[in-house]
Amino acid sequence: MTPADLAAAVLAAVQDCVQAGEFGVALPDDVAIERPKNPEHGDYATNVALRLAKGAGKAPREIAEAIAAHLRDAEGIARVDVAGPGFLNVTLAAASLGALARDIVEAGERYGRSDHLAGTRINLEFVSANPTGPVTLASTRWAAVGDALARILEATGASVSREYYFNDAGNQIDRFARSLLARAHGEPTPEDGYPGSYVDDIAARVVAASPGVLELPRDEAQEVFRRQGVELMFGEVKDALARFGVEFDTYFLESSLHESGAVDAAVETLKQSGRLFYEDNAWWLRSTEFGDDKDRVVIKSDGNTAYIAGDLAYFRNKRERGFDLLIYILGADHHGYVARLKAGAAAFEDDPDTVEVLIGQMVNLVKDGKPVRMGKRAGNIITIDDLVDAVGVDAGRYSLARSAIDTSLDVDLDLLTKRSNENPVFYVQYAHARTCNVARNAESFGIGLDVFEPDLLTNPSDAALLTALGEYPRIVDAAASLRAPHRIAHYLESLAGTYHRWYDTDECRVTPKGDAPVTSANRTRAWLNDAARTVLSNGLGLLGVAAPERM
């Protein structure tokens, strides 16, 4: 019996109560089944009686007793207790709970996946850093989180397109080109330029590829550096992200929106529909209607488009490409954009809720207990490659994806470089490697996945592991709907602990100790071991972290 099955059984019991006239209440939409922290509280618990009490006009415990009386008759339920203020604590029959092990093994990679978001086409935009330098640690956080979120949304049935927006029409790129040119000439970095040593490398590569470039007139040379330098830098960004295991479906260039006429068309549409107003020689979008603190200029008084014009055209472009939901992961320094992005949607008579902006807080570098300022312009950045070199892809992705995005994250440089074993990812990966090792040992004992007698899974450690495994689908759902990949990581850490404890329980061995004979219980536990392997592997997969068979 899965938690979902139990929820259905509880709902049926509530219905029975209502039909029997024991209390009157509208049937709840769903019943929350949770796994109690305290094993004395049964395998599963529900607060449904507490929820219904107010509507029924009766004491929660009274409601709970009534539901319990009906629930006790349900198939596969060993006992139901009413506890505390009115919780229902449910203990399943061993066979009923144990059957889950086979279900999971048979579902394999499909276990935890659902079709809740089937048919939804999601455009997930993340990282989107301008290639004026290597990928910073902050951007790397969004790479890890964004890619994990994409995997999680896909696991709930959505079609997800990973998108990287390159704002190549702006002056950051000009500053980058000027920096390249200056360094190629051996001049100091311009006042507003980029000082990192990578600028010298890129400049040298441009010169190598175009030997005569330094003899060209200054403005022509700068154009060569702009074009080739950006291409080289962007290539490095893509390569570094690919090494990190993050591949984008679309790298979208802002300039393409200008060249295709999409920006002009979008502005024209908005003028026609009266969504822009003219004032002080400029055209404005009334974004204040959507919570923005001021209206935004779309066409500047000099006739040029403002940055937001590109965003408006980009929104429309994404919708025209057929996406139902546009999710943006932006850093906290961009939170002022939320209102104007939504205003843009509304201006096109579209639903502002098609735009969903996730604001991620900053990554702070800490060294010797003190914060270290980091920035491309300051030239002291920690890059995605630095991270990978220090701890590897798995530990890097895991540590950046394991915290909620709305908390700022402190990364200690010394901890990162010296003591990588402190990363909980190894605890989880080791649990997975252990399941594989147990399976290998079982095979050498001639224990395969044949005999399955779930009523033999009577040890409390069996129940603890089974209920933990049963939670997984709801964890995936929650991670998807809350856009919270870190929940997967924390679940896995908890599951790994439960597995390690099960492994260390002598009564729960898969292979017999010493020369004891192989029993049906041993054989049945091979299924449970494999179920744990399946969930650990599936969960790590959602984070883009390897599930090694050996460590």
Partner RNA sequence: GCGCCCGUAGCUCAACGGAUAGAGCACUUGACUACGGAUCAAGAGGUUGCAGGUUCGAGUCCUGCCGGGCGCACCA
Considering only residues 113 to 172 of the shown chain, the ones binding RNA according to CB under 7 A are 167, 169-172
Task: Spell out a b/e string for 530-539, using b for 16 or more CB atoms within 10 Å of the CB, else e.
Answer: bbbbbbbbbb
Per CB under 7 A, which of residues 16..45 are in contact with RNA?
32, 34, 36-38, 40-41, 45
Per CB under 7 A, which of residues 243..262 are in contact with RNA?
254
Per CB under 7 A, which of residues 463..502 are in contact with RNA?
478, 484, 486-487, 490, 493-494, 497, 500-502
SS (H, E, C) 467-530: HHHHHHHHHHHHHHHCCCCHHHHHHHHHHHHHHHHHHCCHHHCCCCCCCCCCCHHHHHHHHHHH
Q: How far is the CB of 7 from RNA (least distance, A)?
A: 11
Q: How far is the CB of 224 from RNA (least distance, A)?
A: 21
Closest CA to 481 of 203, 122, 195: 122
Site for RNA contains 377 (CB under 7 A): no
Residue from the set 80, 230, 508, 531 that interacts with RNA by CB under 7 A = 508
H or E element that contains 550: none
Q: How far is the CB of 484 from RNA (least distance, A)?
A: 6
Residues 6+ apart with CB under 8 A from 370: none
Residue from the set 15, 281, 380, 417 that interacts with RNA by CB under 7 A = 281
Tell me the β-bridge partners of 359: 330
Q: How far is the CB of 204 from RNA (least distance, A)?
A: 26
Do 297 and 284 touch, CB atoms closer than 8 A? yes
Site for RNA contains 307 (CB under 7 A): yes
Do 309 and 298 touch, CB atoms closer than 8 A? yes
Site for RNA contains 294 (CB under 7 A): yes
Q: How far is the CB of 209 from RNA (least distance, A)?
A: 26
Residues in the chain: 551
Site for RNA contains 185 (CB under 7 A): no
Q: How far is the CB of 178 from RNA (least distance, A)?
A: 14
Q: How far is the CB of 121 from RNA (least distance, A)?
A: 26
How far apart are alpha carbons 103 and 419 in whole angstroms? 39
How far apart are alpha carbons 489 and 405 in whole angstroms? 13
Site for RNA contains 78 (CB under 7 A): no
What's the order of all strands across the beta sheet hosting 363-367? 370-372, 363-367, 409-412
Nearer Cβ to RNA (161/459): 459
Pattern 391-430, RNA, x by CB under 7 A:
-----------xxx-xxxxx-x------x-xx-x-xx--x
Q: How many residues bind RNA (CB under 7 A)?
A: 93
